[in-house]
Amino acid sequence: KNQVEQSPQSLIILEGKNCTLQCNYTVSPFSNLRWYKQDTGRGPVSLTIMTFSENTKSNGRYTATLDADTKQSSLHITASQLSDSASYICVVSEWGYQKVTFGTGTKLQVIP
Amino acid sequence: DGGITQSPKYLFRKEGQNVTLSCEQNLNHDAMYWYRQDPGQGLRLIYYSQIVNDFQKGDIAEGYSVSREKKESFPLTVTSAQKNPTAFYLCASSMIGTGGTEAFFGQGTRLTVV
């Protein structure tokens, strides 16, 4: 069964600090991996999308990395802001198949 | 503006009633999905559709039904057979294709059984 595991489950950091969220998956064959940000009570919004051949991709203060050999991805947030407080969800798609597998998310809280 | 719209944002249902959640997209996407999100849990797939007049069950389809009569619309009916319907429901759409496909989400509907 395809799985996507995220860690940590929750995280509290001080404003201005950096943090890294982890995503491990077993989905095969792999198509792409996406990181989403979900504010409370809202729909997820895409941050980055990475295919097999991409190792890193940035979106402002967000940088995602992908190691397709070890099936691991990370999302690094630089110089965190209060508005970064949200859930971050890792989503992995199987090649040629539109059913995707969602991680349970990491809930990030940035405090002053 | 192109996008995906869910309505209503909040919905209250009495036990034993069926309710229908609306999902409309004007992105010309082929595929549409319905997910359920419970507190502390990830999104779980209810139903998905890749083409008009065709849809497939996801992981938790029991107690739900869908239709796809138009490319733009994918309504979800929560039936009285769904034992625990209180949850946050998300609709998404995406293009059909090879790697790099991105899903766009609606803003969600919070359903509460009273």
pLDDT digits (tens, 9 = 90+) for B45-98: 899 998 999 999 988 999 999 999 999 999 999 998 888 999 999 999 887 665
* A3-16 per-position pLDDT tens digit: 899 999 999 999 99
A69-104 burial by CB neighbour count: b if 16+ within 10 A, else e?
A: eebebbbebeebeeebbbbbbbbbbbeeebebbbbb
B2/B28 Cα distance (integer angstroms):
9
**In chain B, which residue's Cα lies nearest the Cα of A43?**
B107
Look at A43 and B25; give whichever has higher pLDDT: B25
29-88 in chain B: CB under 8 A from chain A:
31, 33, 35, 40-45, 48, 50, 58, 88
pLDDT beyond 60 at A63: yes
Per-residue confidence band for B1, with pLDDT thresholds at 50, 70 and 90: low
Arithmetic mean of pLDDT over chain B:
89
Least confidently predicted of A13-17, A36-40, B37-41? B37-41
**Residue B101 pLDDT exceeds 80:** no
Q: Which residues of A touch B43 (CB under 8 A)?
A: 44, 89, 102
Peptide bond into A112 cis (omega under 30): no
- pLDDT for residue B103 is more than 80: no
Is the minimum CB–CB distance between A91 and chain B shorter than 8 Å? yes
Which residue shows structure tokens 């890193």? Answer: A56
pLDDT digits 0-9 by tens, A76-96? 999 999 999 999 999 888 876
Distance CA B26, CA B48 (A): 17
What pLDDT does residue B59 have?
87
Exposure string for B67-84, b = 16+ CB within 10 A, e = fewer: ebeebbebbbebeeebee
SS3 B31: strand
